[in-house]
Structure 1
Amino acid sequence: MYDSDDTPATRRRTVLKAAGTTLLLGGLAGCSADGDGTSTPTDTPTDTQTATAEPTATDEPEPRTESGSAGQSTAETVVEVGADGDFVFEPGTEEPLYVTPGTEVLFGWESGSHSIVVGETPDGATWDGHETVEDAGFTHRHTFETLGEYRFHCEPHRSLGMTGTIVVNETGRPPEPETEQPSTEGPVRLGDDGTAEILVGADGDFVFEPGTERSVSVPPGTRVTFVWDSDNHNLRMDETPAGSSWTDHELVENAGFEYEHTFETPGRYEFYCEPHEAIGMTGTLLVESTE
C-alpha cells in the first residue's frame, strides 16, 4: 500500500479541526467572571460562530497520470516494480495484469534503478510510462481507459527479462479458455528440404505458428529456425525425448530475434513461452521416427 499524508481527505480533516478549535475558543471568550464569582454571558454576534466553509480548491480531481511519492490504490491495482529485489513487474512479468477500462494502476518501486519504458500500446492510448530511472519508494500512477494490450519494460534490465504486460478488457480477467475441439487435421509437416520455420508470437498473438494450434512434424535432421514475430517472448523446454541435445533459450527477446536447432532425436518436444504460458503460449514439435 502506497499512502500519502497530503491527500484531499487529510486536508479536509485539517480544515474542520481548525474550524472546531475556533468555535471552542469563541465560546470560552463569550463568558466573563463578575466580581462576586458569578459568570455573566456576553452576547456574541451569531455570524462569528458560523464555521468557515470548506475550501473548494483542494477538491480538484486527481490527474490521470502522476509520478512521485503520493498515491493510494487497492492491492488489485498495484504493480510492484522490482518486487523483492528481482527483475520483475509483479504482476505483469510472469503473467499479464488484467484490468477494466477506467482502472487506476499504481506502480510502486520496491527496489532501485528501474524505469518504465512503454513499448506497445493500443491506438488512442495516452500512457507514456516513466522513463527516468528511479529508486525504491517512488510511485507512478496511470488510469487505463483504452481497451487493448500494453507492453512495457525496465530499460536497465530489459535484457534480464524485466518486461511486463497489462491487458485492458471488459471483464478485467483472462479470457476463458476455449474448449479444445478434436482436430480433424494432423500435424503441420515441414522440413522436406531440411529446414523449417516457426514464428514466435505470430502476428502479435500469444502463439507459436505452427506449433500451438497444430503441432509441427519434421523428419530427423531438420534445422528448425524459431523467428520472433513480436516482443517479450522466450523459448523454454517442457518435455523432450531421452537423448535429445536441444537446449532452450531462456532470455526474453524481441521481434527480429532468431534461434535455431537441428532436431535429430525422434520423439515429442513440448515447449512454451515463460512470460505467456499462463495464457496458452505453448507448442509441440514431433520428430518422426525413421523406423
Structure 2
Amino acid sequence: MKLEYNILWIDNDIQEYIDNGEVGNLNSYLEELGFEPNIVTVEDEAELDNFIYNYKYDLIISDFNLNATTGDKIIEKIREEKGFSTEILFYTAKSNFRDDPDVKERLAFMDRITFHSNRDTFLDKVEKLIRLTLDKLLELNATRGLITAATSDLDVEIEEIVMQLVVQHKKSEDDLRQIVIAKAHTPLQKRLDNFWDRYDSFQSYFPKIDAVKKWEVLRDLLKPLKTQEEIKTFLDGNKTYQTQVIDIRNKFAHAKAIDDNGILKLKGQIEGQDFEFTEDSCVEIRKNLINHKRSIESLRNILNSN
C-alpha cells in the first residue's frame, strides 16, 4: 500500500534530533497529511549499506559534514549504486560550506538538492520540502491511483484472513457450501444446480466474489469469536469498512478530474447520486485507509497468536 512516506535521515548526532522531538514532529506532520511516516535514521555512515536498499525513499536528509566523509559523497554513492533520483536536503552549521571549490565541483552535476544552514528554521524547511515532493503525488488523478491500489491491497488481506479462518476452524465442505449459498451467490446463481460443481474448492471460488461479500464473509466467520475482547474491538471498528474503503474505491473508479472555478476536483455519479472529492477529502480518505490497514494487520496478529 503506497500510503507511506519514506525518509532517510543521516546524521552522526541523530539521537539529538530524536530526543528533542524533531523526528516525532515530522511523524506527526506526515500523519496530518494522511500519510504513514517511515523515518529511517542512520547515525554511522559506515552502516548506510544496511539501510539504503530497504525502501524507495521520498526524501533524503543529511548532515553535510559527517565524521568520516561529507554528505555529497554519501549522496553520490547512493545515486550511483541505488539509482535514487530522490530530493535531498543538506544541512550544516557552516553557512559558507558551499564556497569550498572541491564541494562546488562535486555538486555541480547533482540536481534536486536543497541546502540549509539555519537550525532555528530547519524543521520548517523540511516540511516545505516534503510538501514540494508531495505536489505531484497529491494531485488528484495520482491520488485516485494510490487509493484504488490501497483498497485492492486490503481486499487481498481479507481474502488471506478468510482462508486462514477456514483452515484454523476446520470448516467442513458443507459449512463452506453454506457460506457460498448465503453470501456469495447472486439470485441467478442460486438457481444453477451445477454452480458449486464448477469450482474445485471454496478456495478457488472465494477470490472471484465481490469485495462487499468477501467482507461480509470475514465478519460472519469472526462473529463466533467475539467473546474475545480483541475480536469484538475489531468487529466494532470494522463496521465502517464498506463506506470508508469499498464504496470509496467504487466512486474513484467512476470519477473524472474537472476544473471547478480553478479548483481541481474529482467528480462523478453512481446510481443517480453525485459525489466529489477534493485534496482535503482525500487526506481524510487516506487516514481512514491507514486505520483499516492497521486494524487488519492487528487482526492477523491476533489470529496468528491463537
TM over 0.5: no
TM-score normalized by the length of structure 1: 0.21
TM-score normalized by the length of structure 2: 0.20
Please identify which structure carries the higher strand content.
1
Find the structure with the greater CA-based Rg. Answer: 1
